[in-house]
Amino acid sequence: MSSTASTGEHLELPIEGMTCASCANRVERRLNELDGVSATVNYATERASVSFDPAAVAPERLVEAVESAGYSATLPQPEADSAAAPEPPETEADASAPLRQRLIISALLSAPVLVLSMVPPLQFDNWQWLALQLATPVVLWGAWPFHRAAWVNLRHGTATMDTLISLGVLAAWLWSLYALFIGDAGMTGMKMSFDLVPSSGGGEDEIYLETAAVVTTFILAGRYFEARAKRRAGAALQALLALGAKDVAVLDADGSERRVPVAALAVGARFVVRPGEKVATDGVVEEGTSALDMSMLSGESVPVEVGPGAEVAGATVNAGGRLVVRATRVGADTALAQIAKLVTEAQSGKAPVQRLADRISGVFVPVVIALAVATLGFWLGSGESASFAFTAAVAVLIIACPCALGLATPTALMVGSGRGAQLGLLIKGPEVLESTRQADSVVLDKTGTVTSGEMSLTEVAVAAGEEREEALRLVGAIEAASEHPIARAIARGAAAAGPLPAVESFANREGLGVEGVVDGRALVVGRPALLADWAMHLPPELDAARAAAEQRGATAVAAGWDGRARAVFAVADTVKESSAEAIAALRELGLRPVLLTGDNATTAKAVAAEVGIDEVIAEVLPAEKAAVVARLQAEGHVVAMVGDGVNDAPALAQADLGLSLGTGTDVAIEASDLTLVSGDLRAAADAIRLSRATLRTIKENLAWAFGYNLAAIPLAAIGLLNPVIAGAAMAFSSVSVVANALRLRRFKAARG
């Protein structure tokens, strides 16, 4: 491969004309011969993922390279255009209609030839000529796609799976013509070749019309069902791309509405989303409240409440009231487009386990042709009849199947990553799969991952003779004037109980608390030390409430007025409801959970105990998190890291497997291997389960593909398989690999 620039551009090129893994390897080699190009070609998705240096090679040169290998490629449309309003994918029926028509006609013509050859009572004088008339259209027209591809590849000095099929079918047909017109089969009737195990020592006038016709039909059937199955494998991504809205009601400056295509929507534009409509693009709610169905992004079925200031994603469905939204991202920058891009890139990659299959596929066809010639020569040299030797050689050509090797990994990856996208689980690439299997420890950031990341009022304790509602009203009012996160949490909790009065003479005591006057009462709210400055000390019952709150990991805020300490407020970053269940699920997968946080040890241990984590690493500076992961790796652990913040990004990158919450920062998501769109920690276990299931399917497919070829080719070479049976087995091999991958579509997330 030529040297590739460290920086450059990336293209996804649709490739047409590939019929097997050998084709994909040929295109890949031709692209990588260009200066500044690094390419991988995926047979299952029929796309080339190309990174190139635009200073060294123009995009048009990439297309020329593909065409020079005997295939065709088209440059993709600009992302902004295609992503803004993705067109519905071509239907399965439209895509496979020509192949289906060819299959049906070939089957109708082949069936009488097969029946006549297997049922002697149905044979009549000179019926072999009828068989010839029925079989010839199948061989020449039905198998035309194979002949055409073989010829194109021959012109380029290469051979593919189509070469094997074309050689086998034409050899059987031409031998039959020889036997009918030059030999004695046309005069004396014929001995048909259809035996499950070819017999040795037969006459020299055997003909193989049923072999040529039925093998063509079987392989056409295999290609047809393979095409349908491959399309189903990519259906999840196609459905994702089709989710976006097609038009939108834009609000003009005078308040009037007009409907325009989504592609015409610009950043900053205001648009209306009515109940039942899709949100046109990513934006911020300016007016209205409603519930949004976010299942297409997160996999969560429970609608999310939104109101003014809330961020919304395009293609989510408005399940409630009317919303006015200001667009913040359009086209290729939207969450939907970015998810689709991530999934596409993941499907274009190659798992390490696929590299061996690719190397074998690259030399497979020439080796098989050599084996077929060797088989023919061996049996002729050993004294067997030409008929037996010919049958064995044709069987070798037809039964070999590099397609199964080429489909083993990409189809499983297509289905697994597509299903993950439906569930809000984004797999960055195939290399991630092996890490999910090997991981034995999972490090979890506390704030925003195990906990909600947002402080809230959890408890209010009042001194004897005081009223809780009055304490909430007074303290909530003064805290509403502060910008501190703890103060805002108390203010939110108080406002939920009723309206708050005005504040006078407000003063902030940095690091200690606040002071002010509410309803003519002088309030002091903050640390007990601040109250002590005003000669207000906590009575025993309030001091006990403070100690209990701190023991639980909460922050205790004392409040006093009229010269006495009268209440203690407990504020805490609450644990997510799903966290305990998530930790249990991770343990079931064989992972040892470790809680990592910069908080004090008391708070960290309280949170860990609540969710079922035994090991805690607390009071860690943000810059030290990656070092903690590295230390665990040095101890021999394969570490998964789950986080959501900017300060988690180095640790996510350091970990063997990084999982980021989609509710977190872009930096954390970029540094991770798996993204959990919903922000639900239970999705971490689902993502690992899905990744492991995908890897297991890949290995099953490769085991079957290798095993099939290792067993089938020798059996054909020693004369134990008829070419018709070989054709059926070859078709079944490819279809079975894709069908096994499709089982991943039934993967269910454990979370509700």
- For the cut 50, the answer to whether the pLDDT of residue 190 exceeds it is no
DSSP type of residue 278: B
- For 311-330, give the DSSP string: EE-TT-EE-SS-EEEEEEE-
Report the alpha-carbon distance of residue 455 to residue 572 in Å, rounded. Answer: 5
Nearest to 615 by CA among 632, 630, 627: 632
The reported pLDDT for the residue numbered 185 is: 52
Give kind and range of the element (H or E) at residue 571. strand 564-575
Question: What are the residue boundaries of the structural domains of the chain, listed by start?
Answer: 9-76, 93-234+345-414+696-746, 247-338, 425-451+576-690, 453-575
List the catalytic residues: 445
CA distance 173 to 398: 14
Class of domain 453-575: alpha beta
113-117, 128-132, 228-232, range with greatest mean pLDDT: 128-132
- Run of H or E including 444: strand 441-445
Q: Look at the alpha carbons of 618, 621, 626, 631 in this order and tell me if their dihedral is positive or negative.
A: negative
- Global confidence as pTM: 0.68
Query: What does the pLDDT look like over 695-749, one tens digit per residue?
Result: 899 889 888 888 888 888 899 899 888 777 777 777 788 788 888 988 988 898 8
User: Terminal CA-to-CA distance of the chain, rounded, Å?
Assistant: 48
Q: Which helix (H) or strand (E) holds 564?
A: strand 564-575
For residues 245-257, give the mean pLDDT.
84
Domain 9-76 fold is: Alpha-Beta Plaits (3.30.70)
- The token duo for 425 is 């689980």
Q: Is 439 left (phi over 0), alpha (psi -120 to 50) or beta?
A: beta
Which residues partner with 706 through β-bridges?
Answer: none
Q: How far apart are CA 652 and CA 672, in angstroms?
A: 6
pLDDT at 566 over 90: yes
Q: Is the pLDDT of residue 595 over 60?
A: yes
Going by pLDDT thresholds of 50, 70 and 90, the confidence category of residue 324 is very high
The two structure tokens encoding residue 594: 């470790």
pLDDT at 196: 47
Rounded Cα gap, residues 182 and 184, in angstroms: 7
Residue 482, helix vs strand vs coil: coil
Q: How far apart are CA 540 and CA 549, in angstroms?
A: 14
Distance CA 732, CA 401 (A): 10
Closest residue by Cα to residue 164 from 427, 402, 328, 348? 402
- The residue with greater pLDDT, 332 or 548, is 548
CB 114 within 8 A of CB 122: no
User: What are the start-end ranges of the H helices in 138-234?
Assistant: 144-155, 161-181, 185-188, 209-233
Pairing of strands 615-617, 592-596: parallel
- Please work out, in degrees rounded to the nearest 5, the angle formed at the alpha carbon of residue 604 by the alpha carbons of 603 and 607: 90
Mean pLDDT confidence for 369-377: 92
Each residue of 287-315: pLDDT tens digit? 888 888 876 665 555 677 888 988 888 88
pLDDT at 201: 43
pLDDT tens by residue, 643-694? 876 667 788 888 888 888 865 545 555 667 888 887 788 989 999 999 899 8
Confidence check: pLDDT of 613 > 90: yes
Quick check: 247 pLDDT over 90?
no
In this structure, the dihedral spanned by the alpha carbons of residues 11, 14, 17 and 23, taken in order and rounded to 10 degrees, is: 40
Span 140-189, pLDDT tens digits: 999 998 898 888 878 877 777 788 788 888 888 888 887 788 765 554 44
What are 61-113's pLDDT values in tens digits? 999 888 888 888 888 765 444 433 344 344 444 556 788 899 899 999 988 98
Q: Please give the helix or strand (H or E) that residue 739 lies within, else none.
A: helix 723-742
CATH of domain 247-338: 2.70.150.10
pLDDT digits (tens, 9 = 90+) for 423-481: 888 887 777 887 888 899 999 988 778 888 778 898 899 998 889 999 999 999 999 98
What pLDDT sits at residue 84?
38
Quickly state the pLDDT bin for 416 (edges 50, 70, 90).
confident
Domain range 425-451+576-690, CATH architecture? 3-Layer(aba) Sandwich (3.40)
Report the DSSP beta bridge partners of residue 558.
Answer: 526, 568
